[in-house]
Amino acid sequence: MKVAIYSRGLDHDLKTQLILLLTELQKHNIDILLLHSLASHGLDMNTKGINLFSHPSELDNTIDCLISLGGDGTILDAVTLVCDKNIPLLGINFGRLGFLAGIGKEELTTAVDALINGTYMIDKRTLIHLDSNLSLFGNTPFAINEFAIHKRDISPMVKIHTYLNGEFLNTYWSDGLIVATPTGSTGYNMSCNGPIVFPESSSFVITPVAPHNLNVRPIVVPDNNVISFEVESRSDQIICALDARREIVDKSIQLAIKREKFTISFIRLNENNFLSTLRTKLMWGLDKRN
């Protein structure tokens, strides 16, 4: 078995857990591919079976799993690393919420045992793909959570004309517009009063940000639609965002969203599922009277 390890950086707690993880993996003679910048933190241990990588191109289909150490933002980074290589992601949470990185750091040893014994589940998640008449977001024009259009800084609200497969849907007078995947429905979309949808629902959620209409609500559409946009703004520029990445572009840009051709696989322990995560992470249905 071969495992890659990624993290944005190392504080004292994370460094301790990384050493524990490396030790546990080495006990089982697992080949380890460690992010080069992590090794530069002076890890004092046996380097047998540990190799380093610095670029996503060094990750290939011989890797059985990529372990992400951090929060949900670290998982978003990891998604852009594995792309369409079909490398499952295992997220160990060192952040605040840990919705995507759903395994607690206290479960690290349990997670390694599950990897060795194959006692885990694979969840496949759809992604969203951005097409435009300009080259945006380099080699990673996709997102697992959402695509968003925003007005820039203190600019007035924008008008976003939205189309499904070329047919007019609506004009949103708002600060912006979110198109979320089922995975992203529990993120920015939820914060803007968009609905939560199940990961396997094969849908997109279109949610306006601060709309200036009382009768405009989020809408769920099948993800086999191509969603395109025309933007009107008093400012010359708008912001386009894919997950935590953003680019400032001219308002005349042509933008279209569709379902990405590949999926991302997440490893979860058997006792964790979408409903239990909703209850424990988002306190869904919590009633202090009971």
* Catalytically active residues, by annotation: 72
Q: Which residues of 41-59 are buried (b: 16+ CB within 10 A; e: fewer)?
A: eeeeeeeeebeebeeeeeb
Asked whether 23 and 46 are in contact (CB, 8 A), the reply is: no
Which residue type sits at 119?
T
Q: Is 249 left (phi over 0), alpha (psi -120 to 50) or beta?
A: beta
Q: CA 274, CA 100: separation in Å to the nearest integer?
A: 10
